[in-house]
């Protein structure tokens, strides 16, 4: 297992930055000089724990603030593929590009510690917001739109979150930000997108509860409670289902004319789509006759 032959306090390690260049090689002596450093990072304070993993506020060599997840390298070397799995997953997370996902800046190993560095995000957690009561409808839809779009983008890139909860979602200004991508690379627990789908189904149910009077919400809640993964097997499917709720609400109210039959909304949409398709066909240039 290349790279698993050293432990904290001995040996050498290197990592990769987001741009693909190698971070500086470090020795145990560097760490001994300053117990509050991890290679190019100066650790400021410990702000979170998750099993063996630790989350630190830190500064990089340029004085820029970062969030640093760390885990003992020996933890990743418990099986033959652990370290390579970490490198592969961290590299995939670093390629994510989405406005609701903080950038993964670097990852690697240093003196017996594996790490993932991410751009910081500020704001209250969604859990704290919900402690004060349900979100307003517009904010509920906007939050779910951002979270589901981010998760769908991550899954398309082959990246799972692994620990999606209201605590991992921040409201940085008016928009939701999903933190914690890259953390899954530091765990040995088997994770896949189905774990994320179950978590985001619970989140969606929690946010929509209390808005049952809105058109379509009760039906979607029933679907989520009966087992969303079967009916909505991708994050994108749930995203479209939530977007449809808001789309229906955004339609202007239509008064029912006297003696005019009221067609279902979906049928009107189908007729509109069919009409547009027919117009497109009619506008095509007819082939010249021989």
Q: How far apart are the first and last CA of the chain?
A: 72
Q: Average pLDDT over the chain, rounded to whole?
A: 79
**CA 53 to each of CA 70, 75, 128, 170, 189: distance values in angstroms, whole numbers, following the listed order:** 5, 10, 23, 20, 12
Predicted pLDDT of residue 81? 87
Predicted pLDDT of residue 190? 80
For the cut 70, the answer to whether the pLDDT of residue 82 exceeds it is yes
Tokens of 99: 């406005």
For the cut 70, the answer to whether the pLDDT of residue 177 exceeds it is yes
Predicted pLDDT of residue 191? 85
Distance CA 130, CA 125 (A): 9
DSSP structure class, residue 125 = B
Q: Residues of the chain with pLDDT > 90: what percent?
A: 61
Q: What is the mean pLDDT of residues 152-158?
A: 96
Residues 232-278 have pLDDT tens digits of 889 999 999 999 997 744 433 434 434 444 434 443 444 333 433 33
What domains does the chain contain, in order, with CATH numbers?
12-118 (3.30.200.20), 126-250 (1.10.510.10)
Predicted pLDDT of residue 29? 44
Residues 186-230 have pLDDT tens digits of 988 788 899 999 999 999 999 999 999 999 999 999 999 887 566
Distance CA 33, CA 56 (A): 19
CA 102 to chain centroid: 9
* Residue bearing the bigger pLDDT, 21 or 47: 47
Burial status of residue 290 (CB atoms within 10 A of its CB: 0-12, 13-18, 19 or more): exposed
Predicted pLDDT of residue 90? 96
Helices 235-250, 217-231: inter-axial angle, 10-degree rounding: 160
Tokens of 157: 């890139």
| pTM, full prediction | 0.74
């Amino acid at each position: 297992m290349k790279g698993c032959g050293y432990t904290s306090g001995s040996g050498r390690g290197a990592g990769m930055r987001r741009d693909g260049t190698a971070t500086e090689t470090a020795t145990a002596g560097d760490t001994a000089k300053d117990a509050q450093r991890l290679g190019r990072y100066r650790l400021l304070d410990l702000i979170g724990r998750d099993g063996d993993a630790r989350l630190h506020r830190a500064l990089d060599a340029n004085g820029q603030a970062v969030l640093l997840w760390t885990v003992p390298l020996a933890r990743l070397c418990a099986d033959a593929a652990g370290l390579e799995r970490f490198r592969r997953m961290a590299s995939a997370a670093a390629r994510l590009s989405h406005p609701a996902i903080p950038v993964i800046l670097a990852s690697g190993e240093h003196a017996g510690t594996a790490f993932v560095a991410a751009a910081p995000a500020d704001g209250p957690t969604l859990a704290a917001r919900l402690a004060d009561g349900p979100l307003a409808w517009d904010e509920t839809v906007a939050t779910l739109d951002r979270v589901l779009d981010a998760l769908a983008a991550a899954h398309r890139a082959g990246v799972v979150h692994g620990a999606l909860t209201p605590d991992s979602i921040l409201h940085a200004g008016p928009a939701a930000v999903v933190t914690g991508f890259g953390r899954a690379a530091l765990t040995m627990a088997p994770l896949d997108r189905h774990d994320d789908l179950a978590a985001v189904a619970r989140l969606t149910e929690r946010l929509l509860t209390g808005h049952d009077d809105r058109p379509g919400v009760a039906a979607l809640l029933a679907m989520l409670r009966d087992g969303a993964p079967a009916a909505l097997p991708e994050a994108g499917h749930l995203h479209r289902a939530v977007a449809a709720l808001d789309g229906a609400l955004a339609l202007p109210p239509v008064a029912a004319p006297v003696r005019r039959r009221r067609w279902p909304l979906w049928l009107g949409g189908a007729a509109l789509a069919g009409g547009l398709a027919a117009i497109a066909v009619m506008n095509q240039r007819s082939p010249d006759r021989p």
